[in-house]
Amino acid sequence: MASIEELSDDALLVMYANGDRDAARVLTLRLTPRVFNHALRLLGDRAEAEDVAQEAMLRLWRIAPDWQQDQAKVTTWLYRVVANLCTDRLRKARPVALDAVEEPVDEASGPVEKMQDRIRAQALQRALSDLPERQRQVVVLRNIEGLSNPEIAEIMEISVEAVESLNARGRRRLAASLSDKREELGYVDAH
Amino acid sequence: MSTHTEDTKDIWLDECFAAARQDTTAAPDDLITKILADAGTMQQEFATQSLVATPVRAGLFARVSQALGGWPSITGLATASLAGVWIGMSAPAGLEGVTQALVGAEAVIDVVDQYYQAEFELAGDL
């Protein structure tokens, strides 16, 4: 018999709606890091990302009794909620200073490669913050979260062609933005 | 997880994305605590709502009563039924005159259709 940790998000959500507390715990531990990190990448602000993550999960709890297992994946639905919440905040918020972009916590110090990866990730995060909001969402979902173009199209409620276009433009802009930092990112031989 | 070099030739950019994928931030404990608390609160609300919203299945009499229009209709129906029984049991003298005037004193009322009556008689002869 499968343990509760092995159950799908859909199944756990149904169990949650029926009052199962373990299902709530497993879903929280499984989905919160993903939701939080996605919000953090879109917003570049830890406190805002925490608020968005809490609100997105609250909306998930609310919809649980009415969840239809054949409508969408839970994660797809969550990405869409996070995207909408982040969009609302970005439109209301003041521009974030580049220095204020949150630096991820690094628990493992040591190898030079890891330090290099940290520097690259931070530089990328800063460059992402300069992208227009829709491009940023697509670029993050496609290139960091690893979702397919059709999935992103469903999340953002746009066509697959629009996803491809936004991704291509976003990547070009990121490349232009980061190109003068290649050396500090460890790409001295990249040309 | 795949990289997406089909979009541009910037392999170094894909390496930056790969670094970003690895560079995740742990969700803070207090965030997890708040989300679990929200989950518990919502579950309590669901339980309360289901207690309030669960309809008690009505019995047959209640459903018939409801179909007929509730207690006022039932009361009227019962009164009319009792009046009919009373009239049948003790027909007032005046009513007999009315009946004779309407159908005639010698009228025979066929309670069975003539056609079926003939069929019955044929069957009886067999």
Contact A171 B13 (CB under 8 A): yes
- Predicted confidence (pLDDT) per residue in A95-139, tens digit: 544 444 455 544 444 556 777 788 888 899 999 999 999 999 999
Q: Quick one: pLDDT at residue A142?
A: 96
Contact A54 B36 (CB under 8 A): no
Q: Which residue of A has its CA nearest to B35?
A: A54
Whether residue B33 contacts residue B22, with contact meaning beta carbons closer than 8 Å, is answered with no
Q: How far is A110 from chain B (nearest CA, A)?
A: 15
- From residue B35, give the alpha-carbon distance in Å to each of A78, A83, B47, B79: 14, 19, 19, 63
Q: Compute the distance between CA of residue B79 and CA of residue B71 in angstroms, rounded to an integer.
A: 12
Q: Which residue of B has its CA nearest to A36?
A: B27
Q: Quick one: pLDDT at residue B82?
A: 76
Tens-of-pLDDT digits for all 191 residues of chain A?
Answer: 678 989 999 999 999 999 999 999 999 999 999 999 999 999 989 999 999 999 999 999 999 999 987 778 999 999 999 999 998 888 876 554 444 445 554 444 455 677 778 888 889 999 999 999 999 999 999 999 999 999 999 999 999 999 999 999 999 999 999 887 777 777 665 44
A99: Cα separation from own chain's centroid: 21
Q: How far apart are the first and last CA of chain B?
A: 93
Contact B22 A121 (CB under 8 A): yes
Q: At what angle do helices B60-68 and B71-89 cross, to 10 degrees?
A: 90
Q: Which of A163, A18, A21, A15 is nearest to A79 (CA)?
A: A163
Output the DSSP codes for A95-163. Answer: PPPGGGSPPPP------HHHHHHHHHHHHHHHHHHTS-HHHHHHHIIIIIS---HHHHHHHHTS-HHHH
**Nearest-by-Cβ selection for A171 from B7, B21, B28:** B7
Output the DSSP codes for A71-112. Answer: T--HHHHHHHHHHHHHHHHHHHSPPPPGGGSPPPP------H
Q: Compute the distance between CA of residue A19 and CA of residue A29 in angstroms, rounded to an integer.
A: 17
Instruction: Give me the interface pTM, i.e. the ipTM.
Output: 0.81
Domains of chain A: 6-102 (1.10.1740.10), 109-191 (1.10.10.10)
Tens-of-pLDDT digits for all 126 residues of chain B?
Answer: 444 444 446 788 998 999 999 888 999 999 999 999 999 999 999 888 877 655 555 565 666 666 666 666 667 767 777 776 776 667 666 666 666 676 665 555 555 566 666 666 776 666
Q: Quick one: pLDDT at residue A75?
A: 94
Residues found in chain B? 126
**Nearest-by-Cβ selection for B16 from A28, A33, A178:** A178
Contact B16 A62 (CB under 8 A): no
Contact A117 B19 (CB under 8 A): yes
| Tokens representing residue B117 in the block | 């009556």
Whether residue A83 contacts residue A49, with contact meaning beta carbons closer than 8 Å, is answered with no
Contact B31 A144 (CB under 8 A): no
User: What burial letters (b/e) apply to A51-72, b meaning 16+ CB within 10 Å?
Assistant: bbbbbbbbbbbebbbebeeeeb
Q: Which residue of B has its CA nearest to A17?
A: B43
Q: Which residue of B has its CA nearest to A167?
A: B7
